[in-house]
Each structure stands twice: as structure tokens, then as C-alpha cells.
Amino acid sequence: MKREELQRYLEREIEKWSAKSYETLREELRDGNYTDCEPEAEYHLEVDLLENRDDYVHISIGVCSEKVRWSCFHPLSRSFLVYRDGSVKK
């Protein structure tokens, strides 16, 4: 697997997490982050709550793979905003 191939995993996670509501994201990330690092998985996932404001949440998603050299030291990542009114800015 090449680092560029991680892009599809990142896009999938961005779509999944940005579809969640403002309230759901605040609840699921109330401790600051979520990680999924299953040994057999194609990639590792980290979701971080960067900002938790009354009008929006700012979320960062990072993916890496042990199959891609150095990617877990420098994960592929992006962030987005989910507003209280349901709008999303990617």
C-alpha cells in the first residue's frame, strides 16, 4: 500500500464523521478524541475534537497504516466544521 492509497480511507472517514450531528459529535468526542487501532485493520484512525464551541465543533481526522512507511509518524489528515444548525464546512 502506498501513502496515496490512504486517501480513500481518509475520504470515507470524513464522510462518515461529517454526517453526524453537532450533538452526536460533542457526545462521542466529549473526552477529546476517538481512536481505532485494530491490528488486522487496513488503517488506523484518530478523530480529535479540536474546538467545542456553542455554535460549532471543529473535528480533525487522521489515518495511517503500518503498511505505509512512516505514515503513523505523519498521518494523512483533514479537518472540518459541523455547526449547531446542521451545516458542514469541509
pLDDT tens for each residue of the chain, 90 residues long: 777 788 999 999 999 999 999 999 999 999 989 998 877 788 899 999 999 999 999 999 999 988 776 777 889 999 999 999 999 999
In the prediction, which pLDDT does 2 show? 77
Nearest to 75 by CA among 86, 87, 64: 64
Give the global pTM. Answer: 0.89
DSSP the chain: --GGGHHHHHHHHHHHHHTS-HHHHHHHTTTSEEEE--TTSSSEEEEEEEEE-SSEEEEEEEEE-TTSTTTTTS-EEEEEEEETTS-EE-
How many other CB atoms are there within 10 angstroms of residue 42's CB atom? 14
pLDDT for the residue numbered 47: 97
**pLDDT, position 68:** 74
CA-to-CA distance for 84 and 90, rounded, in angstroms?
15
